[in-house]
Amino acid sequence: MTHWIDETLHPDFRFRLKADAVLHEAHTTYQHLVIFENGEFGRVMMLDGAVQLTERDEFIYHEMLTHVPLFAHGEAARVLIVGGGDGGVLREVLRHDTVKEATLCELDADVIEAAKTYLPDVSAGAFEDSRTALVIADAAKFVAETANRYDAILVDSPDPVGPAEVLFGADFYRNCKRVLATGGVLATQNGLPFVQADELRQSLKNLSGLFTDASAYLATVPAYVGGAMAFGWASDNPELRAVPLGELESRLRAANLPLRYYTPEVHQAAFALPKYVSEITESAG
């Protein structure tokens, strides 16, 4: 009998993926976790009925959440990853030789262990890297209390339901700003603005009240059904969003990274928002 698994994130539409084999399913302390095989996308991880990643297209999301802020900054030495228990953003962060320490703060240790077991190529050994500092904790509490400072904060969170809801609030962003080093940058996962406009609008409203420069950029990830994915952007240094193409090219050449989606041209174009998205960002300002 053919087995299908529905994504149930959106209230007015669903899509389903064929599960050729369910590799792991559990109710962790915080959420429902399932990892399964799909003939088109490879292995798929879902949390509480929402696709988190697929083997086939995870490189798009992870490269864009990581390399847009890190190449814009150019000298990020200390990076905080909020969430990201699959290890994909951590993998990409550690490709940068400028990074001396990458702290990953994940609430659910079971997600990390499941990803290491069933999706090992996503982290590709990043959890064992000597520069990795793994913190199992509530990230909202962590950024409120830590004395550390970071050049970049990358929020790789699920959608704002359940335990992740606090990671889209004004208090969380205020504390992120507190722990950002001077000239630092914050990038966030902000959903699909075509079907989740309120999520992006509210996040940018919160960010624009705290940072000199708050905006969004886009990438298209096939497994995230409902349009282009938005990433929130915030910094007190407006120049980071306007790094010249030649400088981005120079930084990428120096880094010599084996990337499949990110290019300097894509970096710049990602901030060119379609009108329906720019209307959301402008209404939040």
For the chain, the domains span 4-54, 58-284
How confident is the model at residue 210, as a pLDDT? 96
**Mind listing the pLDDT tens digit for each residue in 145-200?**
999 999 999 999 977 766 777 888 899 999 999 999 999 999 999 999 999 999 99
Percentage of the chain modeled with pLDDT above 70: 98
Residue 171: active-site member: no
pLDDT at 227 over 80: yes
Between CA 267 and CA 273, with CA 268 as vertex, the angle to 5 degrees is: 105
How confident is the model at residue 276, as a pLDDT? 97
Buried b (16+ CB within 10 A) or exposed e, 75-110: ebebbbbbbbbbbbbbbbbbbbebbeebbbbbbbeb
Q: Identify the active-site residue in 156, 159, 213, 236.
A: 156
How confident is the model at residue 165, as a pLDDT? 78
How confident is the model at residue 162, as a pLDDT? 67
Q: Could you tell me how many residues make up the chain? A: 285
The arithmetic mean of pLDDT across residues 19-24, rounded, is: 98
Asked which of 70-74, 83-87, 157-161 is least confident by mean pLDDT, the reply is 157-161
The CATH code of domain 58-284 reads 3.40.50.150
Q: Is pLDDT larger for residue 43 or for residue 2?
A: 43
What are the strands, taking DSSP E only, across the chain? Answer: 4-7, 15-18, 21-27, 32-38, 42-47, 50-54, 78-83, 101-106, 132-136, 150-156, 180-189, 213-219, 229-235
In the chain, the amino acid numbered 127 is F
How confident is the model at residue 215, as a pLDDT? 97
Q: Which helix (H) or strand (E) segment is 204 a member of?
A: helix 197-208
How confident is the model at residue 70, as a pLDDT? 98
Average pLDDT, rounded, for the chain: 96
Domain 4-54 in this protein, CATH class? mainly beta
The arithmetic mean of pLDDT across residues 225-245, rounded, is: 97
Residue 135: count other Cβ atoms within 10 Å of its Cβ. Answer: 15
